[in-house]
Amino acid sequence: VLRWSFLSGAILFVAGGVFECLQNKICTFNDLTKGGAGAVMNLAGGLFFMMGALASWFDNTLSCNLFGVGSALYMVSSSIQIVMWKDEQFGLTFLAVLNNLESPGKLANLVNNPNTKDGDDAHASFSTLGAFFIHVYCICGAMSMYNFNIEVKRATEVNTWRSIQFALNEFLPCLFAHMMIALTSAVMRTPKLAPFRQLYRGARWTCLLLMFNSMCTLCEFLIYQIRS
């Protein structure tokens, strides 16, 4: 049943990638836009997932490797979509028509503040550094969730309150990262007034430290698993 569920899910991933490619009107690789590149990555990731699901019937190692390649392709596609968000292409890989709107952030600024000048519409999007930290938040959340799941598995084996506390501790960076993503969607530029500027920057660098800490914890889990 588990293998069939993997295969059915992978087929749906492939179907989603096909429809994304059709939505972005991909005819040749010379016509690729950011949305098109993301759609191709999603299609390729789905194909690798499907091959991994098929391989699980006869070679588990090959299956895991194929799933790993597919996951890497989906990660690249997600990174492209973050860059599209930065460039105000809010259709991402799903609705190409929204990516061709002229400066949607300018309209949002005029709605919120009719006195906004034409030169101020750039502030409706975030900077390259902001896009970098969005990647940091996503990696931090993913690493933290991996660690949380590992600790939950341990908690089911040890069955102590201390093990549950360890699991909750590993979940906190994920919660903080999602709060920062939500904050970034509303506050796209670093505030200029103190102390909000210092607090915002401090929260960013704190999440960066949490990301490295969660990555180190995951590496320790993997090394322990390999040695045991």
- At 131-145, the pLDDT tens digits run 899 999 999 999 999
Supply the pLDDT for residue 109. Answer: 45
The DSSP annotation for the chain comes to -HHHHHHHHHHHHHHHHHHHHHHTT--SGGG--HHHHHHHHHHHHHHHHHHHHHHTTT-HHHHHHHHHHHHHHHHHHHHHHHHHHHTT-TTTTT-GGGGGSS-HHHHHHHHH-TT--GGGGGGGS--HHHHHHHHHHHHHHHHHHHHHHHHHHHHHHH--HHHHHHHHHHHHHHHHHHHHHHHHHH--S---STTHHHHHHHHHHHHHHHHHHHHHHHHHHHHHHHH-
Supply the pLDDT for residue 206. Answer: 95
Q: pLDDT tens-digit profile of 65-110?
A: 999 999 999 998 888 888 877 666 555 555 555 556 555 444 444 4
Supply the pLDDT for residue 79. Answer: 85
Supply the pLDDT for residue 100. Answer: 60
Supply the pLDDT for residue 121. Answer: 46
Supply the pLDDT for residue 50. Answer: 93
Supply the pLDDT for residue 188. Answer: 72
| Residue ranges in the chain modelled with pLDDT below 50 | 104-114, 116, 118-123
